[in-house]
Structure 1
Amino acid sequence: MYEVLLPVDESDERATAQATAITDLPGDADEIHVTIFHSFTDNPSGASVSQLQSARRARDVLEEAGIEYTMDESSGQPATEILDVAEELDADLVCLGGRKRSPAGKVLFGSVTQSVLLDTDRSVLIAHTDEEDED
């Protein structure tokens, strides 16, 4: 079984792109298991990952492709939580959502994607969208 970690944020477009990238992986759907994951940094209402529209979009894409999945969540800094969950799952692949970033956006804001890429020894797939950060 090929274990994939699919961390989602609040972007439906990125979550859909990530799930679609997973459906395009070689091999049979029944050989892949995906954990759809979200790390809450501020969650006063007590929401769960299954309540996030982005997680539901990713789930729908995976279900349509016949790929088995589970949903998981935690609280904390997203990059740290992603790395910890990837380790716990012994994930073969982490599929992150990328986006275009302006030069100012790259300097001013930290990047979860960049942190995960620099701090993991696991394979990382970046599923790009046309979304762009605003400065």
Structure 2
Amino acid sequence: MYRVLVPVDDDPDRARGQAAFVADLPGGTDEVEAIVTHALTPEQAEAPEDLKSVDRVETVRLVRDTLDERGIDYQLAEARTPPADGILDLAAEFDVDQIVMGSRKRSPTGKVVFGSVAQQVLLEGDVPVTVVGAHEA
């Protein structure tokens, strides 16, 4: 089983890009499992228990639905904050083979600079990290 961690933020286009990448991984639906996660904001984390599930986050539902349609197994997991630390902790906890991060649209020069979360995950992660672009609806 090839296990990938898919940490999504609040941008639907980036989440679509991440979901498309995972859905197109080689090996078929029987060999890929995704762990979909989102680091709740402090406000979301302070919500009542029935409201703070990562499943309530639009981008998590978007990725979940895409993976469901393609027949890919997945689990949902809440990442702790700060997000980069939460992502790295989940990668170790679930013993993932790859992390699939989303990326903002950047200028040609800006493409050498990632956001702080992606940069920390790239530098400190123990598994390959793939950064994918956005897919507009």
Q: Give the TM-score of the pair, scaled to structure 2.
A: 0.85
Per the alignment, do residues 7 and 99 of structure 1 end up closer, same or farther by CA in structure 2, a change over 3 Å counting?
same
State the aligned residue count: 129
> Counterpart of 1:112 in structure 2: which amino acid?
V
Q: Deviations over 1:6-59 (max 9, x none)?
A: 001111111111011011111111111101011123123242110001000001
1:41 and 1:57 map into 2 onto residues whose CA distance is 18
Per the alignment, do residues 111 and 130 of structure 1 end up closer, same or farther by CA in structure 2, a change over 3 Å counting?
farther
1:7 and 1:129 map into 2 onto residues whose CA distance is 14
1:56 and 1:19 map into 2 onto residues whose CA distance is 11
Partner of 2:70: 65
Alignment pair present for 1:50 and 2:55: yes
Which structure 2 segments of 5+ residues have no match?
A: none
| Aligned CA-pair RMSD | 2.2
User: Identity rate of aligned residues, in percent?
Assistant: 43
2:135 and 2:16 map into 1 onto residues whose CA distance is 12
Q: Give the TM-score of the pair, scaled to structure 1.
A: 0.86
SS in 2 for 1:4: strand
Per the alignment, do residues 123 and 60 of structure 1 end up closer, same or farther by CA in structure 2, a change over 3 Å counting?
same
Per the alignment, do residues 12 and 130 of structure 1 end up closer, same or farther by CA in structure 2, a change over 3 Å counting?
closer
